[in-house]
Amino acid sequence: MANTRASTQGIYTQDGIILVFPYSASMVEALKDRIPYRFREWRPETKTWWVARKHQGTARVLLLKYFPRAEFTDFNTDDPPRSQNTRRKGQLSRQNNPYAVLHILNTAPASVVDAAYRALSKAHHPDLGGDEKIMRQLNRAYAEIVSTMSQDA
C-alpha cells in the first residue's frame, strides 16, 4: 500500500467521481484493469482521474484499497470543475466545439466525421439505453460540421 497524503480524495460530481491521489503505478494499473476506458479519463492538466458514475463504486473501493485514509466529498454545484473538455451525462458540449463533441480533430475528413457520429450515436441513442440530451448534442454537432464542410466545398 502506498503512503497517503492529505491530497488523496474522491470528489463526487453529478456525473461520476474525480480521484486525486499521489502517483501509484499499482493503483493506476488496477484502475485501468477494473474500469473500461470509456468510463474513465486521465486529466493531465489537473493530474486527476475522472470515473463515470456507473463505476464510481469500483473507483471508491480501489482508492480505499491503495489509500486507506482517502477522504470523499460531494461537489455541490451544478457545474463541477472538470478538465478543459467537459464530458458529463446529458452534456457532451466541450466548450461549444462540435468537433470535440464528436471526439475528432478539426481537420478530420468527412469519412471520419461520419464514422465518429455513427459510433457515438450507437452508444448514446435513447432507444438503446442512451441519454436523449447527449444524442441531441451529437445531432447538433454533426449537423454543424456537415454544414460547415458543405459551405467550404
Do the beta carbons of residue 58 and residue 64 sit within 8 Å? no
Convert the pLDDT of each residue in 85-127 to its tens digit.
444 444 454 557 888 888 888 888 899 889 888 888 888 888 8
Are 106 and 69 members of one domain? Answer: no
Residue 89 resides in a domain: no
| Residue 28 lies in domain | 9-74
Which residue matches cell numbers 467521481? Answer: 17
Residue 54 resides in a domain: yes
Q: Domain count for the chain, please give it.
A: 2
* d(C-alpha 33, C-alpha 44), whole Å: 20
SS3 label, residue 6: coil
Convert the pLDDT of each residue in 7-44 to its tens digit.
788 888 878 888 998 989 999 999 999 999 999 999 88
Residue 3 resides in a domain: no
